[in-house]
């Protein structure tokens, strides 16, 4: 075999039959290494060359330890199909899909900016009006800088993309203010959440739509439903009895009437209209910056009630089914909206005085009025900031909530369920339920020191961002109730809060699902349906003895004939 | 997470919105390098942060010869003094799962833990636990369930020693999408041939650890690829706050725990 591959010099050497020398041996050894393997057509010589080449070009440390690995890798590379040569397929990098979307977004924002510039040049008088119309986008990049100083926030690359996405939202949708609310993790994809106020026209439109949808029905149909059914059932039963009378077939034992459910659903708690209470802000979500923002629907109080009783991770798909007990009405987009509302109510905090009612002065007068719970608040132009020591005070009296507390009802403004009854049905006033205590939560801007503690843990933990440079330190507050919710405040006029987390509340020791209600009695308890012990033999015997026919009266002497007569009759 | 690479990692690390600040990195690098020199560790890693009421604990791991058996944990609250954590005792590991009380920030504090599964008069129903032992036990619990590495990050040498692979070049894009490519850093609990033979391309030196895809329930690890598929994040639902990142096709990888040290028992409800 080896002879077939002899090269020229070898043949010559063999022919000349000279004395063995080093060169000759070298050539022979090289020849041996160049033997082709029958299966792959590879030679060890080429392989060693490749390995040495790879090692020398890559220069990894401690090659001797992983030499086998290297040899293996070199062999593996040879088997990799080379698409370029065979049929010229280009494999696009995986980033491509996202790049397309982000590119589109950049174009849109850039063209809008260009347009605005042109407008400004042409009509400078209109600039003021233009400013009023232009939606305000909170400066996420600036806020993120401070968050990162405090040890929280988004990575820079993500932050910039989100900021541009917020700009896109402001251009595309009818919104007047845009703020980054946070990020909510899902098992398959994450949500970026933007918090917005709608423009006045859009808000009006939505309120009109809401009233159109809600006014005509308003619970009447639902209320009558069960009663009507009950009546129908009664009628049916009446008919049934009548039929039974007619038929002459053996009559089954008469059963007690089938019970009719007397349960009536509690009156549905009305939904807060758009722009009010829990629906004050409108939230938009997307899975990736660059994707179109999707508006989350308005909340119903029932959704909040159920969301409080359950714990579930988001999946990242807005139309995913939500399987919980008690049943949740809606898909994941409603659940996400409910969780956002709960986080916003519990974890939106700011230093005292950062926000103020209206424009400032009239606050006390208005606060007492009916609408006090739904007051508008704005950044306080006179806010001067607090000292770091105040902000870091563990009692947290210098921090206040600016998210409205959601009542047990699932609304922020208490709704009196008996209001309608008292006015309408005066006869039943005595029988009606006693007037309910209006629920009330802590008012807006109540300090964090009043928050409930979680198992000895205060609801919020303040931390100072820096030990070494106190002059540029800022105060960071993290929530223990909503892990992932943070807020910062500088000694100047900056403050913001953000939420990055799973959208789950911390519930020590752990979440326990709602118990099923006790099964209700199907029949009124009576002797017919009650279980009782079977009589024993002794009982039966006692019963028999007690119910024996009365013993025959003692025989009278004169009555013997009677017997005789009977006997005679029988004989005949 | 390798302390000497924290500056490079800071853009990737993000645990529930928590990021490393410049000051934290500087302090860690300084004090941990000193700690490494004092103890002659071959590697020193920043492990994470345990939230406490007064002062948060920062935890570091020193690794000498064996990357699994020879780990020493240190804690500090002020970056000046790093205390060696005691060996976790089994009873404290159980007790630390029971207690719902938050960490205080004072290692010498003793807390009472009530074990409600025991009878009223059982002598061990109410037991004392020092916060230091509690930290050690909590960390040990987290290690057993949630400390992970990518496949190939740790290799077993022929003499049985486990070392951090100096020639780790990272997972490929398609490998990074599979839970099977991530391993628990702990003494394997499955049989060695189970771990080895569930792979087609098994490798004796890499597949000696339990992979995370066998954890129950499936879905308790949340794997997501971000930054256009270039960074893989793995988050544990059982230990909220434990996050692992791996930059695809590079040796950059590490985990960080930032949380209150409580196990989340609600996982079956969440999925």
Are A144 and A47 found together in one domain?
Answer: no
Q: Do A69 and B21 touch (CB under 8 A)?
A: no
Q: Which of B106, B70, B82, B72 is nearest to B30 (CA)?
A: B82
Instruction: Show the domain range for A197.
Output: 132-211+269-361+372-416+439-501
A301/A382 same-domain check: yes
Q: Tell whether the model's pLDDT for residue A422 goes beyond 70.
A: no
pLDDT of residue A83: 55
Which residue bears the tokens 């009378």? A245
- For residue A305, being part of any structural domain is answered with yes
Determine, for residues A182 and B102 on separate chains, whether the beta-carbon distance falls below 8 Å.
Answer: no
Percent share of chain A, pLDDT over 70: 75
Highest mean pLDDT among A358-367, B188-197, B238-247: B238-247
Per the listing, tokens 């232009």 go with A134
List, in order, residues 6 or more apart from A108 with CB less than 8 Å away: A168, A171, A172
Q: Is A495 helix (H, G, I), strand (E, B) or coil?
A: strand
Q: Which residues of A touch B102 (CB under 8 A)?
A: 455-457, 480
Regarding whether A312 and A341 lie in a shared domain, the answer is yes
- Determine the residue among B10, B11, B17 to mutate to test chain A binding: the one whose Cβ has the most chain A Cβ atoms within 10 Å: B17
CA distances from A51 to A37, A68, A87, A235, B171 (A): 17, 10, 28, 93, 22
The 10s digit of each residue's pLDDT in A127-155 is 444 445 678 888 888 999 999 888 888 88
The minimum CA-CA distance between A314 and chain B, rounded to whole Å, is 8
Q: Name which of A295, A300, A297, A130 is nearest A196 in CA terms.
A: A295
* Domain range summary for chain B, segments of one domain joined by +: 148-270
> Which residues on chain B are in Cβ contact (under 8 Å) with A320?
none
- Token pair, residue A328, equals 């949740």
Q: Let me know whether A387 and A483 are in one domain.
A: yes
Contacts of A163 (CB under 8 A, 6+ apart): A137, A140, A141, A180
The answer on A474 and A410 residing in a single domain is yes
Tokens found for residue B190: 């499955």
pTM of the model as a whole = 0.77
Name the packing angle between helices A67-79 and A44-58 (round to 10°).
Answer: 110
Query: In B, residues 164-183, which contact A (CB 8 Å cutoff)?
Result: 166-167, 173
Instruction: Looking at the structure, tell me whether residues A106 and A183 fall in a common domain.
Output: no
Q: Where are the beta strands (DSSP E) in A51-97?
A: none
Average pLDDT rounded to a whole number, residues A272-298:
86
Kindly state whether residue A149 falls inside one of the protein's structural domains: yes
- Best CA proximity match to A182, nearest among A444, A405, A511, A482: A482
Q: Determine, yes or no, domain membership for A467.
A: yes
| Residue B64, C-beta contacts closer than 8 angstroms, at least 6 positions apart | B40, B41, B42, B70, B72
- Residue A423 maps to a domain: no
CA distance A238 to chain B (A): 48
Which residues lie across from A354 on neighbouring strands?
none
State what percent of residues in chain B have pLDDT above 70: 100
Neighbours of A542 (CB within 10 A): 12
A97 occurs within a structural domain: yes
Does the residue A348 lie in any domain?
yes
Q: Which two tokens stand for residue A167?
A: 């700009």
Strand A475-479 with A485-489, pairing: antiparallel
- Min Cα distance A176 → chain B (Å) is 27
Are residue A207 and residue A61 in the same domain, yes or no? Answer: no
Q: Is the pLDDT of residue A1 over 60?
A: no
pLDDT digits (tens, 9 = 90+) for B18-67: 888 888 899 899 999 999 999 999 999 999 999 888 888 999 999 988 88
Q: Is B19 close to A456, i.e. CB distance below 8 A?
A: no
Q: Give chain B's count of helices (H) and strands (E).
A: 7, 14
How many domains is chain A partitioned into structurally? 3
pLDDT over 50 at A248, yes or no: yes
Q: Answer yes or no: do B51 and A486 touch at CB < 8 A.
A: no
By Cβ distance, the residue of A312, A458, A509 closest to B100 is A509
pLDDT confidence band for A89 (50 / 70 / 90): low
Given this model, what pLDDT does residue A562 score? 45
3-state secondary structure of B126: strand
Give the pLDDT score at A555: 65
| Record: contact A499-B235, CB cut-off 8 A | no
- Evaluate the CA torsion angle A123, A127, A131, A132 in order and state its sign: negative
Distances in Å between the Cα of B116 and the Cα atoms of B121, B125, B126 are: 11, 7, 9
Burial of residue A496 (CB within 10 Å: 0-12, 13-18, 19+) is: buried
Q: Which residue, A114, A129, A144, sits at the end of a domain?
A: A129
Do A27 and A101 belong together in one domain? no
Residues 6+ apart with CB under 8 A from B169: B249, B250, B251
Q: At what angle do helices A301-309 and A332-347 cross, to 10 degrees?
A: 80
Phi/psi of residue B113, each to 5°? -120, 130
SS3 category, A177:
strand
If asked whether residues A122 and A77 sit together in one domain, one would say: no
> Is the predicted pLDDT of residue B192 greater than 90, yes or no?
no
Nearest to B228 among A95, A182, A466 (CB): A95
3-state secondary structure B251-264: CCEEEEEEECCCCC
The answer to whether position A278 is within a domain reads yes
Neighbours of A197 (CB within 10 A): 19
Contact B137, B85 (CB under 8 A): no
Cis peptide, bond prior to residue A509, ω within 30 of zero: yes
B270 in A contact zone (CB under 8 Å) = yes
Query: What are the tens digits of pLDDT across the range A357-397?
Result: 765 444 444 444 344 445 677 788 888 888 888 888 878 88
Whole-angstrom CA distances from A32 to A19, A25, A29 are 20, 11, 5
Q: How is residue A525 annotated by DSSP? A: -
Q: What is the pLDDT of residues B84-137, one digit of tens each?
A: 999 888 888 888 888 878 888 888 888 888 777 777 777 777 888 888 899 999
The tokens for B224 are 């997501």
Q: For residues A408 and A478, what is the distance between their CA atoms, to the nearest angstrom?
A: 25
Residue among B39, B82, B84, B86 nearest B64 (CA): B39
The encoded tokens of residue B47 equal 């492990």
Smallest CA–CA distance, residue B228 to chain A, in Å, is: 5
Q: What is the predicted pLDDT for the residue at B84?
A: 92
- Residues A44-58 pLDDT 10s: 888 888 888 888 877
Residues A101 and A36 in one domain: no
A124 and A32 housed in the same domain:
no
Range scoring the smallest mean pLDDT among A104-108, A172-176, A330-334, A433-437? A433-437
Residue A9 lies in a domain: no
Exposure string for A80-91, b = 16+ CB within 10 A, e = fewer: eeeeeeeeeeee
Q: Does B126 touch chain A (CB under 8 A)?
A: no
- Specify the pLDDT at position A30: 87
* Residue A71 sits in the same domain as residue A122: no
- How many contacts, defined by CB atoms under 8 Å, are there between A and B? 115
Question: Mean of the per-residue pLDDT values for chain A?
Answer: 76
Q: Taking 70 as the threshold, does the pLDDT of residue A17 lie above it?
A: no
Instruction: Please indicate whether, in this complex, the C-beta atoms of A455 and B260 are within 8 angstroms of each other.
Output: no
Confidence class for position A87, pLDDT limits 50, 70, 90: low
What's the pLDDT tens digit per position in A189-233? 889 999 988 888 888 888 888 888 765 544 443 444 444 444 444
Which helix (H) or strand (E) segment holds residue A117: the answer is: helix A96-122
Nearest CA to CA, how far is A63 from chain B (Å)? Answer: 9
Look at B23 and A468 and tell me if their CB atoms are within 8 Å.
yes
């Amino acid at each position: 075999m080896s002879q077939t591959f002899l090269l020229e010099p070898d043949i010559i050497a063999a022919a000349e039959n000279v004395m063995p020398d080093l060169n000759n041996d070298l050539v022979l050894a090289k020849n041996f290494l160049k033997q082709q393997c029958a299966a792959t057509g590879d030679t060890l010589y080429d392989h060693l060359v490749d390995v040495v080449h790879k090692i020398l070009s890559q220069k990894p440390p401690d090659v001797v330890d992983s030499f086998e690995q290297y040899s293996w890798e070199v062999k593996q590379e040879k088997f990799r199909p080379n698409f370029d040569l065979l049929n010229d397929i280009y494999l696009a990098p995986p980033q491509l899909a996202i790049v397309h979307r982000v590119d589109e977004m950049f174009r849109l924002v850039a063209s809008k900016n260009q347009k605005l510039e042109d407008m400004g040049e042409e009509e400078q008088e209109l600039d003021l009006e233009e400013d009023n119309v232009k939606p305000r986008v909170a400066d996420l990049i600036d806020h993120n800088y401070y968050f990162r100083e405090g040890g929280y926030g988004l990575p820079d690359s993500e932050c910039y993309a989100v900021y541009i996405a917020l700009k896109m939202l402001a251009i595309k949708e009818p919104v007047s203010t845009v703020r980054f609310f946070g990020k909510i993790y899902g098992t398959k994809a994450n949500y970026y959440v933007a918090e917005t106020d709608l423009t006045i026209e859009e808000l009006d439109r939505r309120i009109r739509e809401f009233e159109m949808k809600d006014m005509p029905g308003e619970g009447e149909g639902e209320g009558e439903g069960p009663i009507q059914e009950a009546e129908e059932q009664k009628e049916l039963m009446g008919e049934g009895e009548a039929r039974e009378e007619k038929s002459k077939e053996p009559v089954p034992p008469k059963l007690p009437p089938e019970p009719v459910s007397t349960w009536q659903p509690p009156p549905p708690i009305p939904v807060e209209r758009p722009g009010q209470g829990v629906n004050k802000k409108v939230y938009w979500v997307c899975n990736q910056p660059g994707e179109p923002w999707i508006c989350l629907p308005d909340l119903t109080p029932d959704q909040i009630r159920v969301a409080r009783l359950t714990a579930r991770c988001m999946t990242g798909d807005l139309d995913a089914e939500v399987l919980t007990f008690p049943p949740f009405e809606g898909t994941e987009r409603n659940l996400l909206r409910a969780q956002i509302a709960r986080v916003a109510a519990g974890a939106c905090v700011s230093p005292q005085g950062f926000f103020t009612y209206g424009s400032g002065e009239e606050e006390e007068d208005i606060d007492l009025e009916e609408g006090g719970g739904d007051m508008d608040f704005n950044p306080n132009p006179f806010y001067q900031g607090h000292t770091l020591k105040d902000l870091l005070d563990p009692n947290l009296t210098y921090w206040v909530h600016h998210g409205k507390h959601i009542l047990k009802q699932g609304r922020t403004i208490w709704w009196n369920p008996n209001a309608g009854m008292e006015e309408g049905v005066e006869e039943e006033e005595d029988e009606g339920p006693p007037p309910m205590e209006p629920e009330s939560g802590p008012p807006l801007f109540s300090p964090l020191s009043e928050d409930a503690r979680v198992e000895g843990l205060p609801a919020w933990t303040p931390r100072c961002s820096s030990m070494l440079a106190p002059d540029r330190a800022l105060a960071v507050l993290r929530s223990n109730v909503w892990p992932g919710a943070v807020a910062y405040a500088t000694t100047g006029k900056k403050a913001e809060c953000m939420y990055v987390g799973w959208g789950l509340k911390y519930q020590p020791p752990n979440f326990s699902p709602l118990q099923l209600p006790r099964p209700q009695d199907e029949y009124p308890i009576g002797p017919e349906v009650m279980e009782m012990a079977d009589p024993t033999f002794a009982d039966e015997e006692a019963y028999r003895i007690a119910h024996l026919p009365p013993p025959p009266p003692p025989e009278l002497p004169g009555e013997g004939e009677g017997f005789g007569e009977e006997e005679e009759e029988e004989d005949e | 997470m390798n302390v000497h690479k924290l500056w490079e990692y800071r853009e990737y690390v993000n645990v529930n919105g928590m990021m490393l600040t410049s000051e934290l990195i500087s302090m860690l690098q300084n004090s941990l390098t000193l700690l490494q020199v004092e103890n002659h560790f071959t590697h020193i890693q920043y492990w994470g942060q345990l939230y406490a009421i007064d002062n948060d604990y920062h935890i570091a791991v020193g690794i000498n010869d064996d990357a699994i058996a020879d780990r020493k944990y240190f804690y500090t609250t002020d970056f000046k003094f790093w205390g060696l954590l005691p060996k976790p005792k089994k009873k404290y590991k159980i007790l630390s799962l029971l207690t719902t009380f938050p960490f205080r920030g004072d290692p010498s504090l003793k807390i009472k833990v009530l074990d409600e599964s025991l009878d009223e008069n059982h002598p061990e129903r109410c037991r004392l636990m020092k916060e230091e032992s509690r930290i050690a036990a909590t960390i040990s619990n987290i290690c057993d369930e949630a400390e992970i590495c990518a496949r190939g990050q740790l290799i077993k040498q022929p003499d049985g020693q486990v070392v951090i692979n100096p020639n780790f070049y990272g997972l490929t894009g398609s490998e990074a999408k599979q839970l099977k490519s991530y391993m628990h850093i702990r003494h394997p609990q499955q049989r060695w041939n189970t771990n080895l033979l569930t792979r087609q391309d098994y490798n004796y030196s890499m597949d000696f650890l339990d992979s995370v895809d066998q954890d129950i329930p499936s879905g308790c690890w949340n794997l997501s690829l971000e930054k256009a598929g270039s960074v893989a994040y793995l988050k544990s639902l059982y230990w909220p706050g434990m996050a692992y990142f791996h930059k695809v096709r590079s040796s950059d990888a590490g985990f960080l725990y930032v949380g209150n040290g409580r196990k989340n028992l609600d996982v079956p409800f969440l999925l």
